[in-house]
Amino acid sequence: MKTRLLLLLLFYSLNAYSSEYVTFEIMKKNTNSFLKTSNKIAKELSKSELQYAYGKASIDKPQAAKKNYDIVSFTLLNQHQNIFSKQINYSYKIDYTQSKSNSNDYSFSIDTGIGYNLINISKDNYISIGINFGFYNLNAVIQNDEEKLDAYKLGAKIDFSKQLFPLLSVYGSTIYSQVYTQKYDGIFNEAKIGIRVKPKSYTNFTFTAGVKYYLFSSKALKIKSLSNYLGISYSF
């Protein structure tokens, strides 16, 4: 009888220990997975650039007066990042733009792209072609009428960068997309050119400055903007 009780106690003890060990291993695995994911996100964000832009925009709609206004925008982006090999790259951009005078006039867009490097000498010397797809949301008041636009974009893009000096590069990009909406189908053009500076005293920092142009054009609505931008990024 005593032997049976001892065996039962031993069995339940081992079972409880086994359950605790399995639970501990699952928690350890989940924690490691979370830390790895967080580390990947941190590394990816370290490759991103934060830009501030200021400029002018206009909205032109038939049977309504053309609307002109000053804008500011904030953008998080990575214009060109190689993956898998030196031939394939990706890009992304998250942009929020708002009128300086009216908080009801704003736009929000997300773009991502996959490209192929025709030339890839270094991080600051490349030419790439690819596809771009994204989403564009606009909210604007035109003569007391609220205009809302949700659009999906699909098109082609070209990126380039040329190192002029060890600390200075010129770069740019252009995108031509078809735009699909419930109200207006049209085209979306984007062009940007700028300089990239890597100061010798601050090797982890990169500074950019340039000009960017946007145009959405359809039969019933035209939106365009021209802005100057300043950017900064930090590599860990």
* pLDDT reported for residue 185: 82
Average pLDDT, the chain: 83
Query: Is 82:117 a contact under the CB 8 Å cutoff?
Result: yes
* pLDDT reported for residue 156: 96
pLDDT tens-digit profile of 118-151? 999 888 899 999 999 999 998 988 777 788 888 8
Longest dimension (CA), the chain: 98
Task: List, as one string, the DSSP characters of 106-155.
Answer: EEEEEEEEEEEEEEEEETTEEEEEEEEEEEEEEEEEETTEEEEEEEEEEE
Among 2.40.128.100, 2.130.10.10, 3.40.630.30, 1.20.200.10, name the CATH number for the domain at 49-234: 2.40.128.100
* pLDDT reported for residue 184: 78
φ, ψ of residue 211 in degrees (nearest 5): -130, 140
Q: What is this structure's pTM?
A: 0.78
pLDDT tens-digit profile of 46-99? 578 999 999 999 998 877 778 899 999 999 999 888 887 788 999 999 999 999
Closest CA to 149 of 92, 48, 218, 197: 218
Rounded CA separation 95/70 (Å)? 16
